[in-house]
């Protein structure tokens, strides 16, 4: 009986991770791991989630300051075959860390300040739960609901805008400094040489960070298609169905990350639905781009009879609509099925959207409305006749409920939900 009793907490931990929604997966994973390895905070870094590559739980002073640059540096030191332990910078200061890398998705798990030595069994359970969580993130993003896709697009667009503005500002400043330091009127040659070198490196670093941010929210069209092909080949190997992949032009416009994910999910679901029909022996999928839309076509060899009312298509249609796209299904007996999808590459127009899932109190909604209107904390405090500290408290609660890490991200998602 004692053995059976000890198994239940483990099974409940596994179930909690498997059933967790995307915005709760870090929290659930931390709950499952804390009895094994007590720790201060937990960070997941996954580029499958383009709008929110970081998923965090734990000490707010740590998770609110974690940067992509820090996580990238950590990942460069980790081997996918075994955890890495050591001291490194996270959230702007050095912490003892336990870091794991998921081999397939390259997702990173960072456990900050683990407070006890784990046994071999604890390490095995940690690795098992992390691999389970990483795979579930991949699956959930591929089949993400419309609301997640919409929020992801809004957050991605806002992040790019802010990063671009900061880059332009800092680049101008540094280039001006370089011009001054290179001036022949400066006689301290040694000082000029050293500072010039340091400034040039700072410029390179700043531009690298900009490119890195762009990589998270955009994907070259041919690379997105290659990932689709790699995903489908193992699934089609044993089905006896020949799947032909007609590649897009390599110089096509890059896809926003959420469009690339949605496109792969739509094609994957459609191809698998076609392959379930015994009369289908060949499926052809093709991507194209007209400069404004990603154009997808999937058709079978004439033996299929899928219809727009097929169960699989209702979910795929919702994913398409979330990105303001269109999906059409044409099926004729003896001629087979052709599925055409058009996904706009630019964000859809702002439209009202359900925010009930945030469970906002009336005061929190008032603060969010003023936040979305561009008001700072002091102006919000004056408008609502409350203290600035109270505003800060409400803003922190909003960040938690909306699962965001910054004002710009909160504003972007609020605008996507029609809050102006």
Distances (CA, A) of 414 to 20, 37, 152, 165, 368: 23, 37, 12, 21, 8
What DSSP line would sit under 98-112, residue for residue? EEEE-TTT--EEEEE
Residue 210 CA to residue 36 CA, distance in Å, equals 38
pLDDT at 109: 95
pLDDT at 420: 65
Structural contact between residues 373 and 407, judged by C-beta atoms closer than 8 angstroms: no
Is there a common fold for 2-142 and 356-416? Answer: no
Structural contact between residues 298 and 274, judged by C-beta atoms closer than 8 angstroms: yes
What DSSP line would sit under 282-294, residue for residue? EEEEEEEE-SSEE
Residue 34 CA to residue 40 CA, distance in Å, equals 9
Structural contact between residues 164 and 210, judged by C-beta atoms closer than 8 angstroms: yes
Query: Token pair of 82, please?
Result: 């075994």
pLDDT at 114: 92
Collect all residues with Cβ–Cβ distance below 8 Å to 314 and sequence separation of at least 6.
Answer: none
SS3 state at 337: strand
pLDDT at 295: 92
How many Cβ atoms are within 10 Å of 81's Cβ, its own excluded?
A: 7
Structural contact between residues 148 and 353, judged by C-beta atoms closer than 8 angstroms: no
Superfamily designation of domain 2-142: PHY domain (3.30.450.270)
Collect all residues with Cβ–Cβ distance below 8 Å to 172 and sequence separation of at least 6.
Answer: none
How many Cβ atoms are within 10 Å of 135's Cβ, its own excluded?
A: 15
Residue 264 CA to residue 230 CA, distance in Å, equals 11
pLDDT at 145: 62
Closest-CA residue to 325 (of 284, 285, 265): 265
Structural contact between residues 368 and 360, judged by C-beta atoms closer than 8 angstroms: yes
Question: Count of residues for the chain?
Answer: 420
Fold assignment, 356-416: Arc Repressor Mutant, subunit A (1.10.10)
pLDDT at 110: 95
CATH architecture, domain defined by 221-344: 2-Layer Sandwich (3.30)
| The residue to which tokens 């094609």 are assigned | 267
pLDDT at 1: 35
Residue 173 CA to residue 196 CA, distance in Å, equals 13
Structural contact between residues 277 and 303, judged by C-beta atoms closer than 8 angstroms: yes
Residue 244 CA to residue 246 CA, distance in Å, equals 6
Instruction: List strand residue ranges (DSSP E) for 198-254, in order.
Output: 218-219, 242-246
User: 220-252: string of b/e by CB count within 10 Å (b at 16+)?
Assistant: bbbebbeebeeebeeeeeeeebebebeebeeeb
CA atoms within 13 A on the CB side of 373: 11
Residue 407 CA to residue 403 CA, distance in Å, equals 11
| The residue to which tokens 């009127």 are assigned | 185
pLDDT at 140: 77
pTM of the entire structure? 0.55
Query: Token pair of 301, please?
Result: 């060899």
Query: Token pair of 99, please?
Result: 């870091």
Q: Are strands 242-246 and 282-289 parallel, antiparallel or unpaired?
A: parallel
Residue 215 CA to residue 132 CA, distance in Å, equals 25
Instruction: Report residues of the chain scoring pLDDT below 70.
Output: 1-7, 49-52, 118, 142-169, 171-173, 175-176, 179-180, 186-187, 191, 194, 198, 205-217, 234-239, 304, 308, 311-312, 347-354, 420
Per-residue pLDDT reduced to its tens digit, 75-124? 888 887 788 999 999 988 999 999 999 988 889 999 999 987 767 788 88
Distances (CA, A) of 319 to 142, 265, 312: 10, 9, 11
E strand or H helix at 96 = strand 93-101
Query: Token pair of 251, please?
Result: 């110089």
Domain ranges of the chain: 2-142, 146-217, 221-344, 356-416
**111 φ, ψ (degrees, to nearest 5):** -100, 115
């Amino acid at each position: 009986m004692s053995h059976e009793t000890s198994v239940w907490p483990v099974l409940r931990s596994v179930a909690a991770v498997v059933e967790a929604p995307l915005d709760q997966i870090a929290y659930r994973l931390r709950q499952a791991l804390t009895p094994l390895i007590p720790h201060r905070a937990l960070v997941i870094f996954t580029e499958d989630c383009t709008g929110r590559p970081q998923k965090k739980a734990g000490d707010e002073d740590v998770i609110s300051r974690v940067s992509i640059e820090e996580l990238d540096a950590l990942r460069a030191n980790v081997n996918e075959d075994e955890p890495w332990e050591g001291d490194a910078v996270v959230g702007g200061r050095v912490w003892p860390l336990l870091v794991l890398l998921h081999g397939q998705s390259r997702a990173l798990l960072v456990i900050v300040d683990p407070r006890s030595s784990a046994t071999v069994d604890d390490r095995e359970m940690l690795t098992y739960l992390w691999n389970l969580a990483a795979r579930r993130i991949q699956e959930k993003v591929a089949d993400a609901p419309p609301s997640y896709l919409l929020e992801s697009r809004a957050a991605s667009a806002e992040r790019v805008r802010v990063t671009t503005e900061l880059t332009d500002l800092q680049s101008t400043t540094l280039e001006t400094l370089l011009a001054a330091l290179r001036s022949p009127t400066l006689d301290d040659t040694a000082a000029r040489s050293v500072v010039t070198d340091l400034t040039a490196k700072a410029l390179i670093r700043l531009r690298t960070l900009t490119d890195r941010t762009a990589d998270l929210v955009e994907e070259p069209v041919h690379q997105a298609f290659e990932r689709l092909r790699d995903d489908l080949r193992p699934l089609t190997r044993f089905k006896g169905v020949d799947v032909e992949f007609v590649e897009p032009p390599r110089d096509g416009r890059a896809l926003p990350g959420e469009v690339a994910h949605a496109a792969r999910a739509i094609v994957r679901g459609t191809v698998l639905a076609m392959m379930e029909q015994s009369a289908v022996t060949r499926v052809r999928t093709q991507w194209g781009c007209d400069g404004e839309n990603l154009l997808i076509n999937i058709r079978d060899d004439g033996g299929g009879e899928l219809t727009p009312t097929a169960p699989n298509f209702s979910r795929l249609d919702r994913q398409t609509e979330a990105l303001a796209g269109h999906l059409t299904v044409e099926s004729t007996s003896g001629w087979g099925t052709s599925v055409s999808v058009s996904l706009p590459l630019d964000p859809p127009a702002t439209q009202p959207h359900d925010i009930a899932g945030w469970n906002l109190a009336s005061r929190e909604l008032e603060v969010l409305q003023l936040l979305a209107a561009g008001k700072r904390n002091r102006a919000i405090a004056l408008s609502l006749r409350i203290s600035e500290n109270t505003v800060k408290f409400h803003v922190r609660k909003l960040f938690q409920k909306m699962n965001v890490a910054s004002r710009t991200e909160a504003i972007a998602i609020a605008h996507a939900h029609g809050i102006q």
